[in-house]
Amino acid sequence: MSSAIEPAIRLEVADAIATITLDRPEALNALTIPMKRQLVAAFETARIDRTVRAVILTGAGRAFCAGQDLRERLDPAAPSLGEELRDHYNPIIRAMRALPQPIIGAINGVAAGAGASLAFACDLRIAADTASFVLAFGRLGLVPDSGATWTLPRLVGPAKAAELALLDEPLSAAEALRLGLVTSVVTADALPGEARAVANRLATAAPAAVAETKRLMAAGQASDLETALAAEAEAQDRLGRSTDHDEGLAAFVEKRPPRFTGG
């Protein structure tokens, strides 16, 4: 299935994978208010589609996303920046973090400003060797937003996050790999295939276990050890009664790959 939720956001679902493409290449996929609404809608469509087991987020053309459309900000009728975040950016980040399916960021080029924040909010990132990350907020007299002050220190550590946020230096794909920010770096041509291969692996895993892993890993960032131990026991108790767990045990004993159905 392929649908244009709006011209600038494309959603395609095939073989249990939803691919969401930021599709405004002439402006390096800079985000307008309609695009932000459509992006939330695309994640919601993926969330409720029970056939979707993994999501890829990528950009059309040579950029992943150049962040906020700065021309749109020149409109005297533009909302205040606080409203912009509360009404349009924060819902995207919440939708991404709350999505039960894992999101793979296929970072095909520059990810700047809120575009970098979108990349950081993905569960995994794979980069083209032409990709780079730049916070770019400071040069506009702004602070990092769309969750970057929460995600980036957790991904690369507080010292590197402070350097990236305060100096606004671009981070190359190679350096992002060294820091563990991205899982792998491939050529731009190989990126869609590599992202799909990772998405396929996730799409054949037990969906409830994947969703719970995503949820617990995020919750663990903000909780103490006792809370994490209790949450793991509660989730494991539930998953231990699932037919997918039975299938995993049977597959081990029968020396074959498991066939998870989501039960």
User: What is the binding site for ligand T3D (CB under 6 A)?
Assistant: 27-28, 30, 66-71, 73, 81, 84, 110, 112-114, 136-137, 140, 142, 145
CB of 147 to ligand T3D, least distance (A): 11
CB of 5 to ligand T3D, least distance (A): 21
Q: Based on CB atoms, which residue is closest to ligand T3D, 59 or 113?
A: 113
Q: Based on CB atoms, which residue is closest to ligand T3D, 6 or 168?
A: 168
Q: Based on CB atoms, which residue is closest to ligand T3D, 89 or 260?
A: 89
> Considering only CA atoms, which of 204, 199, 212, 209 is closest in space to residue 258?
204
Q: Based on CB atoms, which residue is closest to ligand T3D, 134 or 195?
A: 134
Cα-based angle 33, 67, 87 (whole degrees, multiple of 5): 35
CB of 117 to ligand T3D, least distance (A): 7
Q: Based on CB atoms, which residue is closest to ligand T3D, 17 or 31?
A: 31
Question: Which contiguous run of DSSP H or E holds residue 11?
Answer: strand 9-14
Inter-residue contact 111 to 118 (CB < 8 Å): yes
What are the C-alpha distances in Å from 251 to residues 166, 193, 200, 242?
50, 28, 19, 14
In the chain, the amino acid numbered 192 is P
Round to whole Å and give the CA distance between 73 and 75. 5
CB of 236 to ligand T3D, least distance (A): 39
Q: Based on CB atoms, which residue is closest to ligand T3D, 130 or 200?
A: 130
Round to whole Å and give the CA distance between 10 and 108. 16
CB of 212 to ligand T3D, least distance (A): 32
CB of 83 to ligand T3D, least distance (A): 9
Question: Which contiguous run of DSSP H or E holds residue 63?
Answer: strand 63-65
Round to whole Å and give the CA distance between 98 and 182. 21
> In the chain, helix, strand, coil percent, each to 5?
50, 20, 30
